[in-house]
Structure 1
Amino acid sequence: MSTYLLNKFLFTVDRDHALTERYREDPAGTVAWWEAEEANRLLGAIDAERSTWLAFDDAEREALVGHDHVALFGMGAHPFLTLTLWIAMFERDYDEPLGMQLDYAAKLAHWELPYPDIST
C-alpha cells in the first residue's frame, strides 16, 4: 500500500477540472488510465522522466473506484485531499448548505483517536 500514491492521485485529479469530472463520471476508467499513464510520472519533471514501480494495490484501486473516502482515510489518504475532491465532485448533489460536508463527516464519525497515519 502506498499512501503517497493515493495522495498523488487525489491531489492531481483535484487540480484538473476535466479530470475531476472524468473521475466523477467514470471512476474505474479514470483510475485505470491514471495508474497506467500518470502514476509513475514525476510531477514537475519532463515527460521522459518516469519512475517504474508505483501501482495501486487491489484495496486502494477498489476504494478509489468506489469513491470510498472512509476506506481511503483508513488507508492513510489525507482527509483534506479527499474532502476538497469530494466537494468538487459531489457537493452539487446535495440540496442543503454543507450537506455534502456533513455527510462526509458523518461517515467518518466512527473513527476514534488515534486516527490512521496520514504521513507519506
Structure 2
Amino acid sequence: MSKYLLNKFLFTVDRDPDLVERYRAEPRATVEWWESTYANRILGCHAGESSTWLSFDDTEREALATHDYPRLFELGAHPFLTLTLFIAMFERDHPPLGFQTEYARRLAHVRLPYPDIAT
C-alpha cells in the first residue's frame, strides 16, 4: 500500500479539470490510465524523470475506481485531498453544501484516532 501514491493521484487529478471530468465519467479507466502514465513520474520534474516501482494494490485501485472515499480515508488518503476532489466531481449533483454533508455522514463512523495520513 502506498499512501503517497493515493495522495499523488488525488492531487494531480484534482488540479486538472479535464482529468476531474474523466475520473467522474470513467473512474476505472482513468485509474488504470493514470497508473500506467503518471504513477511513476516524479512530481515537479519533466516527463523524462520517472521511477519504476510505484503501483496501486488491488484494494487501493478498487477504492479509487469506485469513488469509495470512506475507504480511501481508511487507507490513509489525506481527507483534504479526497474532499476537494470529490467536491469538484459531485457537488453539482447536490443542493448547496449537500455533498459536504454527505461526505461527513459517510465518514461519521470514523473515530479518533484517525487513520495515519503521513506519507
TM-score relative to the length of structure 2: 0.98
CA distance in 1, matches of 2:36, 2:60: 15
CA distance in 1, matches of 2:111, 2:83: 18
CA distance in 1, matches of 2:14, 2:110: 25
Which 4+ stretches in 1 moved above 4 angstroms?
none
The unaligned stretches of length 5 or more in structure 1 are none
**Residue of structure 1 equivalent to 2:106:** 107
CA distance in 2, matches of 1:11, 1:46: 17
In terms of mean alpha carbon deviation, does 26-35 or 42-51 score higher? 42-51
TM-score relative to the length of structure 1: 0.98
The unaligned stretches of length 5 or more in structure 2 are none
CA distance in 1, matches of 2:11, 2:79: 11
Is the aligned partner of 1:61 residue 2:61?
Answer: yes
CA distance in 1, matches of 2:96, 2:50: 42
Shift of 1:97: 1.5
Matching residue's letter, 1:62: E
How far does the alpha carbon of each residue in 1:68-104 deviate from its partner, in whole angstroms, 9 at most, with x for none? 000000000000000000110000001x210000000
In terms of mean alpha carbon deviation, does 24-33 or 41-50 score higher? 41-50
Shift of 1:44: 1.5
Shift of 1:33: 0.4
Residue 4 of structure 2 aligns to a residue whose secondary structure is helix
CA distance in 2, matches of 1:47, 1:86: 27
- How many residues were matched structurally? 119
